[in-house]
């Protein structure tokens, strides 16, 4: 990726060690959380309370395929999910702490007034409505939007997951998501958004395989 | 506690397990076992005895035909003749209570959301006696930490932490949505609580024992979390 124009990043590697560690741990945790979450979903693969299932959900009663599931049965899926949830959440907290304390947020996070225009132009470039991509500064605007959004999705997953896990003890959280069944909708919707992120992430990485090396070695120093 | 399982009970249990869980269970060891213990500590640490589940208007009750009713026996358990509830264990006044005697105790009602381990929720009003009121009548001795619930749904039982059992929204319920408990929902008497998952709320009650030891439970011993709070 292009160098950052920001002199604060002189001498720093493209992907500092903390980012690389958190990234690869997160890749493992997301797979485990998704698999065990789908195992839990399979016990009641519907949205909405009994007797008032949501009319708009097109997959009522449809279980996720067994190859996507982890844990073999509902209890096993719960054990995996509630075990890895801690690691997923703590890993996310380490990422946020590092990104803000190190100043990395300046070249990674989406700042609307700085990045919105670039994100739009990059999107038009991908749609072939523009011949050339807009100039990049470490990341382009669309990358920043994607990487910032997925961190937000992760936070929503932790909070909506807690709301489902303890809908009485953490009732204030459950209310925030429109109640227990609302929190299940948000939690499954969050999985869908994260899955879409991962799919496009993998496509783009396949188109720029050097970035895999960078995410392992850290890349060049700026 | 006797855990002698007859073959029939084992088969009935396995059949019910496959309905609820889709598969036989596995003992939980190693990393997952350690995390399960950790999570149980977390669950009991965040349980606040003063936290009330929101009460809902009775008009929001789930149509009863849509409210699932599970049991583990081969057939829906029928009320035995001369049914009564035995209250025992580490208490000064062990009791045997008939349904009429239970109905004469000061009663209460609450309409709350039910949370099943499977992920569904449903709403109903429940009528009964607070378990904490029954505990007062029985007069608990020092050293009681757990409450065990037994049923005539062959082989089904559960045990609870004392704190959740003494929660004001934990009832010995004899009514639902303004009428007597239906057979499917645990007639004549069931445990109902707003602070536990469904499998903790034993139906078809026969015994309530206040104990110093944790005696597990039907689903709990197959791997579901013992605390099972919501």
Segment (H or E) for B159: strand B157-161
Determine what percent of chain A is predicted with pLDDT higher than 90: 88
Give CA–CA dist A163/A173, Å, rounded.
5
Nearest residue of chain A to residue B66 (CA atoms): A51
pLDDT at A161 over 60: yes
Q: Where are the alpha helices (DSSP H) in chain B?
A: 7-21, 30-46, 99-104, 131-138, 162-165
Give me the pLDDT at residue B25, please. Answer: 45
Q: Within 13 Å of residue B190, how many CA atoms lie on the same side as its CB?
A: 28
B110: left (phi over 0), alpha (psi -120 to 50) or beta: beta
- What is the mean predicted confidence (pLDDT) over A158-171? 98
For the entire predicted model, the pTM comes to 0.90
pLDDT at A222 over 80: no
- What is the mean predicted confidence (pLDDT) over B160-174? 98
Give CA–CA dist B116/B122, Å, rounded.
9
pLDDT in tens, B177-216: 999 999 999 999 999 999 999 999 999 999 999 999 999 9
Give CA–CA dist A51/A42, Å, rounded.
18
pLDDT in tens, B67-125: 999 999 988 999 999 999 999 999 999 999 999 999 999 999 999 999 999 999 999 99
Give CA–CA dist A111/A143, Å, rounded.
12
Nearest CA-CA distance, residue B111 and chain A, Å = 14
| DSSP letter assigned to residue A8 | G
The residue with greater pLDDT, B139 or A134, is B139
Q: Which residues of B92-115 are buried (b: 16+ CB within 10 A; e: fewer)?
A: eeeeebebeebeeeebebbbbbbb
pLDDT at A54 over 90: yes
Phi, psi at residue B96, to the nearest 5°? -125, 120
> Does residue B215 contact residue B108 with C-beta atoms inside 8 Å?
no
Q: How many helices (H) and strands (E) does chain A have?
A: 8, 0
Determine what percent of chain B is predicted with pLDDT higher than 70: 88
**A35, A41, A50, A170: which to substitute to probe chain B, counting the most B Cβ within 10 Å?**
A50
The chain A residues in contact with chain B (CB within 8 A) are 40-44, 46, 49-52, 72-76, 78-80, 82-83, 86, 166-171, 180-181, 184
Give me the pLDDT at residue B22, please. Answer: 39
The secondary structure of B66-126, three-state, reads HCCCCCCCCCCCCCCCCCCEEEEECECCCEEECHHHHHHCCCEEEEEEEECCCCCEEEEEE
Mean pLDDT of chain A: 94
pLDDT in tens, B113-159: 999 999 999 999 999 999 999 999 999 999 999 999 999 999 899 99
Give me the pLDDT at residue B20, please. Answer: 44
Give CA–CA dist A119/A110, Å, rounded.
9
**B35, B37, B224: which to substitute to probe chain A, counting the most A Cβ within 10 Å?**
B35
pLDDT at B19 over 80: no
Across the interface, whether the CB atoms of B229 and A169 are under 8 A apart is answered yes
Give CA–CA dist B199/B151, Å, rounded.
13
pLDDT at B8 over 80: no
What is the pLDDT confidence band of residue B10, given thresholds at 50, 70 and 90? Answer: very low
Minimum mean pLDDT among A66-80, A150-164, B21-35: which range? B21-35
Identify the sign of the CA torsion A71, A74, A76, A78: positive
CB-CB neighbours of B216 under 10 Å:
17
Nearest CA-CA distance, residue A205 and chain B, Å = 33
- What is the mean predicted confidence (pLDDT) over A123-127? 92
Residue length of chain A: 222
Q: Is A60 helix (H, G, I), strand (E, B) or coil?
A: coil
What is the pLDDT confidence band of residue B27, given thresholds at 50, 70 and 90? Answer: low
Please determine, for the modelled complex, whether the ipTM score is greater than 0.85.
yes
Nearest to A51 by CA among A144, A195, A181, A138: A181
A97: left (phi over 0), alpha (psi -120 to 50) or beta: alpha
> Does residue A60 contact residue A83 with C-beta atoms inside 8 Å?
no
Give CA–CA dist A76/A173, Å, rounded.
26
Across the interface, whether the CB atoms of B122 and A170 are under 8 A apart is answered no
Contacts of A129 (CB under 8 A, 6+ apart): none
pLDDT in tens, A5-30: 777 888 788 999 999 999 999 999 99
Give CA–CA dist A217/A198, Å, rounded.
21
Give CA–CA dist A214/A1, Å, rounded.
9
Give CA–CA dist A34/B194, Å, rounded.
29
Give CA–CA dist A45/A40, Å, rounded.
9
Interface contacts (A, B; CB < 8 Å): 105
Nearest CA-CA distance, residue B34 and chain A, Å = 9
């Amino acid at each position: 990726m292009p160098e950052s124009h920001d002199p604060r990043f002189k001498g720093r590697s493209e992907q500092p060690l903390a980012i690389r560690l958190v990234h690869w741990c997160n890749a493992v945790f997301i797979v485990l959380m998704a698999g065990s979450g789908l195992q839990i979903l399979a016990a009641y693969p519907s949205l909405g309370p009994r007797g008032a299932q949501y009319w708009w959900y097109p997959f009522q009663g449809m279980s996720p395929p067994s190859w996507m599931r982890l844990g073999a049965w509902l209890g096993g899926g719960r054990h995996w999910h509630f075990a890895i949830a801690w690691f997923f959440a703590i890993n996310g907290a380490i990422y946020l702490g590092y990104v803000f304390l190190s100043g990395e947020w300046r070249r990674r996070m989406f700042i609307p007034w700085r990045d919105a225009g670039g994100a739009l132009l990059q999107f038009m470039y991908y749609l072939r409505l523009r011949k050339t991509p807009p100039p990049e500064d470490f990341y382009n605007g669309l990358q920043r939007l994607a990487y910032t959004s997925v961190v937000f999705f992760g936070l929503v997953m932790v909070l909506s997951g807690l709301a489902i896990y303890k809908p009485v003890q953490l009732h204030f959280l459950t209310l925030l998501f429109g109640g227990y069944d609302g929190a299940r909708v948000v939690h499954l919707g969050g999985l869908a958004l994260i899955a879409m992120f991962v799919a496009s992430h993998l496509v783009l990485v396949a188109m720029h395989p050097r970035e895999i090396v960078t995410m392992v070695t850290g890349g060049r120093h700026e | 506690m006797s855990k002698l399982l007859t073959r029939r009970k084992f088969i009935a249990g396995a059949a019910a397990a496959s309905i609820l869980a889709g598969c036989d269970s596995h003992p939980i060891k190693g990393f997952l076992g350690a995390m399960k213990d950790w999570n149980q500590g977390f669950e009991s640490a965040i349980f606040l005895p003063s936290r009330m589940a929101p009460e809902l208007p009775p008009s929001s009750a789930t149509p009863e035909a849509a409210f699932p009713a599970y049991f583990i026996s081969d057939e829906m358990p029928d009320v035995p003749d001369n049914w009564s509830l035995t209250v025992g264990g580490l208490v000064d006044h062990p009791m045997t209570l008939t349904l009429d005697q239970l109905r004469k105790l000061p009663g209460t009602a609450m309409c709350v959301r039910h949370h099943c381990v499977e992920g569904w929720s449903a709403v109903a009003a429940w009528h009964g006696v607070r378990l904490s009121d029954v505990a007062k009548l029985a007069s608990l001795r020092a050293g009681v930490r757990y409450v065990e619930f037994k049923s005539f749904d062959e082989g089904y039982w559960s045990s609870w932490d004392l704190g959740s059992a003494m929660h004001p929204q934990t009832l010995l319920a004899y009514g639902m949505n303004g009428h007597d408990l239906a057979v499917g929902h645990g007639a004549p008497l069931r445990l109902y609580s707003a602070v536990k998952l469904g499998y903790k709320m034993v139906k078809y009650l026969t015994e309530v024992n206040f104990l110093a030891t944790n005696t597990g439970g039907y689903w709990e011993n197959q791997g579901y979390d013992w605390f099972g709070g919501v």
